[in-house]
Amino acid sequence: MQLKLNGKTAAIPDDRDDELLIWTLHDTLELNGTRYGCGAGWCGSCTVLADNVAIRSCQISAAQVVDRDLITLEGLAHGDTLHPVQQAFLENPLQCCYCMTGHIMTAVAFLNKNPNPNPAEIDAAMDINLCRCGGYNNIRKNVLRASKLMRGQV
């Protein structure tokens, strides 16, 4: 089986195509930027993009996304240039940052669809990801900052 991942093709051994995507990323492909949190589909820390839709990699097998364009945290930067969402979260990190990959990936999918959001729209979009440290004000601030970076307004 082959996955379309971060603009390349990734070969997955046939005996592993039914495992959860997050373990395929971690164990087979050694891409550890995606975080495992609740394992139950509600925290969002394991978020990756499939055709620019934020999905929970703890709730889907690699075989179920074989025809989709997958992006993980490792696929966001262009060479040494971080994605604007990564840049915004780097400038203003959260507390423990365990949830940060999920927030970054959700924000990328959201800003690709809505490049000029207002704070209420950001809150509504980011509400699907949890932060146990309560960093929601900074998450909103970072997504706003990223939207300005993406539009060249800084």
Q: Which of 20, 131, 143, 146 binds ligand FES (CB under 6 A)?
A: 131
Q: Which two tokens stand for residue 23?
A: 């373990």
Q: Which of 4, 42, 74, 140 binds ligand FES (CB under 6 A)?
A: 42
The token pair at 27 is 């164990």
Query: What CA–CA distance (Å, rounded) separates 143 from 151?
Result: 12
Beta bridge partners of residue 78, listed in sequence order: 81
Q: Which stretch binds ligand FES (CB under 6 A): 60-68, 70-78, 130-138, 144-152?
A: 130-138
Sign of CA dihedral 3, 37, 77, 134: positive
From the list 65-73, 93-101, 111-119, 142-150, the region that binds ligand FES by CB under 6 A is 93-101
Residue 143 near residue 104 (C-beta atoms within 8 A): no
By beta-carbon proximity to ligand FES, the closer residue of 115 and 127 is 127
- Candidates 21, 44, 73, 145; binder of ligand FES (CB under 6 A) is 44
Residues 110-129, interacting with ligand FES (CB under 6 A) = none
User: Is residue 43 a contact residue for ligand FES (CB under 6 A)?
Assistant: yes
Give the residue among 104, 112, 113 at the shortest CA–CA distance from 143: 104
Stretch that binds ligand FES, among 7-15, 65-73, 91-99, 140-148 (CB under 6 A): 91-99
Q: For residue 85, give the nearest of 7, 136, 151 by alpha carbon.
A: 151
Find the distance separating the first CA and the last CA of the chain, reported in whole Å.
43
Residue selected from 54, 73, 99, 111 as contacting ligand FES according to rule CB under 6 A: 99
Residues that bind ligand FES (CB under 6 A): 36-39, 41-46, 56, 58, 94-99, 131-133, 135
